[in-house]
Amino acid sequence: MPQKKKSQSWMHLKQAGNECFKKGQYGEATSLYSQAINELEKSNKKNPEDLAILYSNRSASYLKDGNCGECVKDCNTSLELHPFNVKSLLRRAAACEAMERYRQAYIDYKTALQIDCNIAAAQDGTNRMTKALTEADGLSWREKLPPIPTVPLSVREKLMQQTSANTAKQNPASQQNGIKETKKPTTPTDKDIKKGQALKEEGNALVKKGEHKKAIEKYSQSLKHNPTEVTTYTNRALCYLSVKQYRDAVRDCDEAVMIDSSNIKALYRRAQAHKELKNVKACVDDLNSLLRVEPKNTAALKLLQEVQKK
């Protein structure tokens, strides 16, 4: 019986951490995941895969808070416990990319693609890293890369089965801890569309009051009902910009651009976020894409001039 209580304890802490994460309370989520890790490590029946998930979850909280160094440490531990875990690979890649460790990020994105070649985040990340490494090291950049691990076929098959099972259980718009592993189109029901629209309008009203954090929650709820509504992503991106969560703004704009590649608001807001993240190349690329669609957009022309001066 005592062991069962311990097991329930870490599981409850993990669940509480997940709830905090969904609400954007990343510091509290980190604390709860840390407590869950301590409880599970004290247990005589600790399972490496359970521990790996807890470390991976905590890494996501660190990543959201911009603590990329701790994110990488937790991903390293998670991958030691559960090699080739896709979420840990993607989170470590995102953290390394943010710290401009482009070679390691490239390797992690490419490793994730060995497991599932349809992971959009890994495809996009590989393309970004290819550009960054070409600019940094020239055309011979591949020669400077450390070896890319080969994912055994047995591991690939097992992980793909797990990914498929998880995807079947979860709503695609509310995948745990912020990284969606597959991009499978969904068709919301009329009921979902109406509910999503109502929540989006509540979010819009909160934005007008300047309550951006509350608006983010409403938009997030809206996207659970209708993950195909492009304006909800661009509206939430605007809120993320207002509260200085620039990486989250980029991710929302990425989603919007995948739905509508010429969306002016998505391109402009992503450019703004890239500017704040000191990613001048990506900022200029977005502004140029925008100006191809709308050549006389004054806001884009002004921002482009400002960035190019710097």
pLDDT at position 166 is 53
Query: How confident is the model over 89-114, as pLDDT tens digits?
Result: 999 999 999 999 999 999 999 999 88
Same domain assignment for residues 100 and 209: no
Q: Residue 159's pLDDT is what?
A: 65
Instruction: Using the 3D structure, point to which of 142, 170, 198 is the last residue of a domain.
Output: 170
**What mean pLDDT is predicted for residues 11-29?**
91
**Residue 225 and residue 117 share a domain:** no
At 270 the pLDDT is 94
Q: Provide the CATH number for the domain around residue 102.
A: 1.25.40.10
Task: Between 177 and 240, name the one with better pLDDT.
Answer: 240
Does any domain span residue 23?
Answer: no
Distance CA(30)–CA(177), nearest Å, equals: 12
* DSSP alpha helix (H) spans, 184-263: 190-208, 212-225, 230-242, 246-259
Q: What are the tokens at 72?
A: 């990488």
What stretch of H or E contains 86?
A: helix 86-98
Does residue 21 lie in a domain region? Answer: no
Examine residue 65 and state whether it is found in any structural domain, yes or no.
Answer: yes
pLDDT of residue 193: 86
77 touches 40 (CB < 8 A)? no
DSSP string, 89-139: HHHHHHHHHHTT-HHHHHHHHHHHHHH-TT-HHHHHHHHHHHHHHHHHHGG
**Same structural domain for residues 157 and 205?**
no
Q: Do 118 and 55 have their domain in common?
A: yes
Indicate whether 9 belongs to any domain.
no
Regarding predicted confidence, which is higher, 30 or 179?
30
State residue 63's pLDDT score.
Answer: 92
* Count of domains observed in the chain: 2
Same domain, 69 and 162: yes
302 plus 243 within the same structural domain: yes
Cβ-count burial 194-215 (b if 16+ within 10 Å, e if not): ebbeebbebbeebbeeeebebb
For residues 52-77, give the mean pLDDT.
94
The mean per-residue pLDDT over the stretch 157-161 comes to 66
Domain that holds residue 298: 190-309
Tokens of 171: 């709503």
